Amino acid sequence: MVNTIGLVLNVVVHPADVQDREGGKLVLDGIKNKYLKLEKVWADQGYTGGFRRWVHVHATVGVVLEIVYPWRRQIKRNHPELLETLGLDATFNVMSRRWVLERTFSWLVKNRRLVRDYEALPETTEMLVYLAMIRLMLARLVKS
């Protein structure tokens, strides 16, 4: 989980056979008492259905889960006349909030040990992600 500027709030590394929705529950359980001012969580379409109900019941009071759908598809479905007037490209349009997480992934893979999954223990990978973010924040402090 990352904040709005792309810094890591919580990391949970789990086996590949765990569904995204179950992994999302692990991540949100880990931040329940850490970030009391957390108001909104953005997720993609893989987190619809039961996960939304789970967040509403189990997550910290006041946390809102917003599913980020491809907005171009929503406009095409609901208001097709707007597509041409907005001059949208038929091949690629940026999804809102999606770039924050993708940018964070690109920062992480600049670290050699995070490019490939070499680690035997998930805890080691979690620690390496935290170390990479600490390194990034320290580099920013030195520049300013």
Q: For residue 129, how many other CB atoms are within 10 A of its CB? A: 19
CA dist 53 and 9 (Å) reads 22
Per-residue pLDDT, averaged over 43-64, amounts to 76
Q: Which residues contact 70 (CB under 8 A, 6 or more apart)?
A: 93, 95
Q: How big is the chain by its Cα radius of gyration, in Å? A: 18
* 0.85 surpassed by pTM: no
Q: State both tokens at 78.
A: 């609901």
pLDDT at 96: 62
Sign of the torsion formed by the C-alpha atoms of 102, 128, 17 and 65: negative
Per-residue pLDDT, averaged over 84-101, amounts to 64
Q: Which residue has the higher pLDDT, 136 or 32?
A: 136
Q: State both tokens at 130.
A: 């935290």
Give long-range contacts, CB 8 A cutoff, 24+ apart: 127-133. 129/8, 129/11, 129/13, 130/8, 130/11, 132/107, 132/108, 133/7, 133/8, 133/107, 133/108
